[in-house]
Amino acid sequence: MNGECVEVKPAVHDRSVSAEQTTDRKDPEPRAWGPLVEVELGEVFGTRSGDKGGVANLGVWAKTDLAFEYLRGYLTEARLQALLPDTQGLNVTRYEFTGVRALNFCIHGYLKNGADSSGRLDSLAKAVGQYSAGKCIQVPKSLLD
């Protein structure tokens, strides 16, 4: 600045971004959350997707700790496959990134051996996130307030 060197220290973040592979979790008890309403997943959670070879990656994240607590219990591997019927029969692995309130799903074989071998219109799995965001799910009404 003004010809002077200024030392810029790295940002300090208080959230960890390490991943933890998880197995299917039990659904959250609806009684604990109050009344449920049906909304599109993207109304409450963010999504993004892409590919790594033949694997489609789908990230889903919550904006608040409370919404992430619900998401962790609700969006199991089995429920994701129910929401996305074209993933039935494929191996889905779920990872939790609690520090950034996110889940990542690896959908193995979604693109066969990779984009070039996939017959899908979305050969890079870029639309899987938007497709997921449009799916209807049950969420506590309190998450919409």
Cβ partners under 8 Å of residue 110, min gap 6: 51, 54, 55, 56, 87, 90, 118, 120, 125, 128
Give the count of domains, the chain: 1
* Residue 3 falls inside a structural domain: no
The string of pLDDT tens digits covering residues 43-72 is: 999 999 987 878 889 999 999 999 999 999
* Residue 6 falls inside a structural domain: no
Q: What's the gap between Cα 105 and its chain centre?
A: 6
> What is the domain extent for residue 104?
20-140
pLDDT of residue 104 exceeding 50, the answer is yes
Q: CA neighbours within 13 Å on the CB side: how many for 45?
A: 37
pLDDT of residue 38 exceeding 80, the answer is yes
The string of pLDDT tens digits covering residues 76-92 is: 999 999 999 989 999 99
* Residue 73 falls inside a structural domain: yes
Among 56, 69, 46, smallest CA distance to 143 is for: 69
Which pLDDT value is given to residue 30? 46
* Residue 12 falls inside a structural domain: no
Secondary structure element (H or E) that encloses residue 72, with its range = helix 65-74
| pTM score over 0.75 | yes
* SS (HEC) of 82-130: HHCHHHCCCEEEEEEEHHHCEEEEEEECCCCCCHHHCCCCCCCCCCHHH
Among 145, 70, 142, smallest CA distance to 103 is for: 70
